[in-house]
């Protein structure tokens, strides 16, 4: 078994699907299947069973998949520690980022950081904030950008704040919202709960959801085309001056604020690459620079 074999096993365990695992690994399905059969021959056990619902791991396979995760984690730690013995800032920086941050902030941020440290490479995982916070906790990424006030007991930095707002192409009366078509998008549970709490503090009937999409940016485009109103974080629609916007407020009349944080472990700062990145972020005027 070599490192590539352990990676195959870990990826297959995560995906539970031969086709998706092969795509993640950039290899063919026959090549993945062949590697899996070689592993089974080496250990003399059945690792997976294949059925209509995908791949199911045997108890022996579950154990080996867990070992694969631990071995790959330790291998990555060894690489980082060896690189860290030099003064040079180099290696792979692993980031967990929300879709909004990926679409609107990250490309320029990474370009500027790489301009300063050309020997840096990036591994970026995009997910909902709750999952990113968990990834930072599990040390699957070095740094996470998290939207919302998730519990975190290690190091965090406030990056910026934004309001939540009702947006529509035409001026609307907020009292008429329950009867107007609403466009919703998939988002993290904390934001969804915040919006639902505001709604039921102000209305007795549910919203009239006419369209559901997977991303906030798609939702914004639907609003721009006059297909309904939406409730979106303000930074997503700041560049759309011609949209009608109303900030959500709590029962005291104060705007409902959503914060974006940078999460990381204190011990991660021992790595040159992480310390350099955290220092870089802290020096930025985040509302203007990224």
User: Where residue 247 sits, what CATH number does that domain have?
Assistant: 3.40.190.290
Mark which of 82, 101, 120 sits at the end of a domain: 82
Q: Domain check: are 127 and 250 in the same one?
A: no
Number of domains in the chain: 3
Q: Domain check: are 167 and 243 in the same one?
A: yes
CA distance between the termini of the chain: 43
Is the CB of residue 166 less than 8 Å from the CB of residue 174?
Answer: yes
Query: Which tokens go with 54?
Result: 């995908």
Query: Which tokens go with 198?
Result: 């505001």
Mark which of 41, 65, 82 sits at the end of a domain: 82
Task: Give me the residues of the chain with pLDDT under 50, please.
Answer: 289-290
Q: Domain check: are 203 and 121 in the same one?
A: no
Q: Domain check: are 270 and 216 in the same one?
A: no
Q: Domain check: are 274 and 154 in the same one?
A: yes
CATH number, domain of 94, equals: 3.40.190.10
- pTM, entire model: 0.72
CATH number, domain of 58, equals: 1.10.10.10
Q: Domain check: are 155 and 165 in the same one?
A: no
Q: Domain check: are 141 and 166 in the same one?
A: no
Grouping H, G, I as helix, E, B as strand and the rest as coil, residue 184 is strand
pLDDT of residue 78: 75
pLDDT of residue 114: 93
Q: Domain check: are 175 and 133 in the same one?
A: no
Q: Domain check: are 48 and 182 in the same one?
A: no
Q: Domain check: are 29 and 74 in the same one?
A: yes
Count the alpha carbons within 13 Å of 150 in the hemisphere toward its beta carbon. Answer: 28
- Please, which residues bridge with residue 79 across strands? none
Q: Domain check: are 122 and 230 in the same one?
A: no
Q: Domain check: are 47 and 156 in the same one?
A: no
Range of the domain at 229: 161-258
pLDDT of residue 55: 86
Rg (CA), the chain: 23
Assign 3-class secondary structure to 145-166. Answer: EEECCCCCCCEEEEEEEEEEEE
pLDDT of residue 80: 67
**H helices present in the chain, as ranges:** 3-15, 18-25, 29-43, 59-84, 99-104, 106-116, 129-137, 189-202, 216-224, 234-237, 272-282, 286-289
């Amino acid at each position: 078994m070599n490192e590539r074999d352990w990676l195959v096993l870990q990826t297959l365990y995560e995906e539970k699907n031969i086709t998706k695992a092969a795509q993640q690994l950039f290899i063919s399905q026959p090549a993945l299947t062949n590697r899996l059969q070689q592993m089974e021959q080496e250990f003399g056990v059945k690792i997976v069973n294949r059925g209509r619902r995908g791949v199911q791991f045997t108890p022996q396979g579950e154990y080996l998949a867990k070992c694969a995760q631990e071995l790959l984690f330790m291998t990555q730690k060894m690489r980082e520690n060896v690189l860290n013995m030099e003064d040079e800032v180099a290696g792979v920086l692993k980031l967990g980022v929300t879709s909004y941050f990926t679409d609107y902030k990250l490309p320029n941020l990474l370009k500027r950081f790489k301009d300063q440290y050309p020997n840096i490479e990036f591994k970026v995982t995009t997910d909902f904030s709750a999952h990113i916070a968990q990834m930072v906790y599990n040390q699957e990424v070095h740094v996470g950008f998290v939207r919302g006030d998730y519990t975190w007991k290690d190091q965090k930095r406030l990056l910026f704040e934004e309001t939540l707002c009702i947006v529509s192409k035409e001026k609307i009366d907020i009292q008429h919202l329950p009867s107007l078509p609403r466009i919703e998008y998939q988002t993290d549970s904390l934001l969804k709960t915040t919006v639902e709490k505001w709604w039921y503090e102000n209305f007795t009937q549910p919203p009239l959801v006419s369209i559901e999409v997977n991303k906030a940016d798609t939702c914004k485009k639907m609003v721009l085309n006059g297909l309904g109103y939406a409730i979106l974080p303000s930074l997503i629609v700041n560049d759309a001056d011609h949209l009608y916007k109303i900030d959500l407020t709590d029962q005291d009349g104060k705007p409902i604020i959503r914060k974006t944080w940078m999460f990381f472990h204190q011990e991660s700062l021992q790595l040159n690459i992480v310390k350099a990145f955290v220092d870089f972020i802290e020096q930025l005027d985040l509302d203007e620079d990224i």
